[in-house]
Chain A
Amino acid sequence: MPTQKTQPEKPKELFLFQPTESELIMFAFNSIKDLINTLYKEREIIDFLFAKRKVSVKYDNLLEFVNFEEEKLTTLLEKNILVQFGNTIDLNQDILDFLEKFTDSIEEINYEYTSGLIRILKENIQNWEIEKRPNKRNEYLLKIKRNIGNVGKDVLRNVTTLRGSVEDVFATEKDFGIKKSKLQEYDNKRKHLDDLLEQIDAFFQESTWGYFIKMVQDDELNQIILRLDRDIIIARQNLIDITQKILDFINRIRQDSQIFKHIKKVKLLKDQLLLAEKSNFIDVVLKENSLKFQNEIRYSTPLSLDYIQSEDAFEILLRISYKLKKSLKLDEKSSGVIRDEFLNKKDKNHFVVDTNKLKESFLSRGGDLFDFINNYNFEYELTFEDKVTLYCKLASQFRDEFSFSDKYSKIRNIEYALITPKQ
Chain B
Amino acid sequence: MIGTPPIQTSEIFDRLSKGQFISEDSGSDEVKDLFNIIELENNYEVLRDYFQRIGFIFEKGTGYYYFSRKETNQIIEDKVKRAYKWIDILDFFNTYAKAIDEPFTQGTIFSPSRIFEKSKVNSALQEKLEALKNYQEFATEKPLERIQKLSRYMVKETFFDLTNEYSDEFKVLASYRYLQKLVVSIVIEEDDDETFE
Contacting A294 at CB < 8 Å: which of B19, B97, B188?
Answer: B19
Chain B CB within 8 A of A247 CB = no
Cα-based distance from A261 to B103 in the complex (angstroms): 12
Per-position contact with B for A204-236: 1 when CB-CB < 8 Å, else 0?
000000000000000000000000000000000
- In the complex with contacts A256-B105, A279-B186, A296-B18, A290-B59 CB distance below 8 A: yes
A174 to chain B: which residues have CB within 8 Å? 109
Q: Mark A256-289, 1 if CB is under 8 A from B, else 0.
A: 1111111111110110000110111110111011
Q: Name the interface residues of B93-115: CB closer than 8 Å to any CB of A.
A: 94, 97-98, 101-103, 105, 108-109
Q: Is B90 an interface residue (CB 8 A)?
A: yes
The answer to whether A294 touches B180, judged by C-beta atoms less than 8 angstroms apart, is no
B155 at interface by CB-CB < 8 Å: no
Cβ distance B109 to chain A, nearest Cβ, rounded Å? 6
B74–A295 contact, CB under 8 A? yes
Say how far B63's CB is from chain A's closest CB, in angstroms: 13
Q: How far is the CA of A35 from the CA of B68 in the complex (A)?
A: 78
Binary interface encoding of chain B residues 104-129 relative to chain A, with 1 for a CB under 8 A from any of its CBs, else 0: 01001100000000000000000000
Interface Cβ pair total, 8 Å cutoff = 117
Taking residues whose C-beta sits less than 8 angstroms from the other chain, chain B's interface range is 35 or more
* A291-B17 in contact given A259-B180, A263-B94 (Cβ < 8 Å): yes
- The count of residues in chain A whose C-beta lies closer than 8 Å to any C-beta of chain B is 39
Given A257-B103, A258-B197, A296-B19, A266 contacting B186 (CB threshold 8 A): yes
Tell me whether B188 and A279 are in contact (CB under 8 A). yes
What is the CA–CA distance of A292 and B64 in the complex, to the nearest angstrom? Answer: 14
Indicate if the CB atoms of A294 and B74 lie closer than 8 Å.
yes
A297 near B103: Cβ-Cβ < 8 Å? no
Contact B66 A260 (CB under 8 A): no
List the one stretch of B23-31, B33-41, B81-89, B136-144 in contact with chain A.
B81-89
A253, CB-defined interface residue at 8 Å: yes
Find out whether the CB atom of A289 lies under 8 angstroms from the CB atom of B184: no
Instruction: Write the chain A residue with the least CB distance to B182.
Output: A288
Please report the C-alpha to C-alpha distance between residue A260 and residue B97 in the assembled complex, in whole angstroms.
9
Q: Please give me the residue from chain A that is nearest to B93 by CB atom.
A: A263
Contact with B84, one of A270, A278, A290, A292 (Cβ below 8 angstroms): A270
Let me know if B46 is at the binding interface, CB within 8 A.
Answer: no
Contact among B57, B83, B157, B196 for A285, CB-based, below 8 A: B83
A264 and B188: CB pair below 8 A?
Answer: no
Q: Tell whether A176 is near chain B: CB-to-CB under 8 Å.
A: yes
B79 interface residue, CB < 8 Å from A?
yes
Nearest 4 interchain pairs by C-beta: A291-B19, A256-B103, A267-B91, A290-B68
- 17 more A-B contacts (CB under 8 A) besides A260-B97, A266-B188? A177-B102, A257-B103, A260-B98, A263-B183, A265-B188, A279-B186, A280-B186, A281-B83, A281-B186, A284-B83, A284-B182, A285-B83, A289-B68, A292-B66, A292-B86, A293-B74, A297-B18
In the complex, 18 of the A-B residue pairs with CB atoms within 8 angstroms, ordered by the A residue number, are: A252-B103, A260-B97, A260-B103, A262-B183, A262-B188, A263-B87, A263-B184, A266-B186, A269-B188, A276-B80, A278-B189, A279-B188, A281-B83, A285-B79, A288-B68, A292-B82, A292-B86, A293-B82
- Tell me the B residues contacting A by CB distance below 8 Å: 16-19, 57, 59, 66-70, 72, 74, 76, 79-80, 82-84, 86-88, 90-91, 94, 97-98, 101-103, 105, 108-109, 157, 178, 180, 182-189, 196-197
Chain A interface residues (CB < 8 Å from chain B): 174, 176-177, 252-253, 256-267, 269-270, 275-276, 278-282, 284-286, 288-297
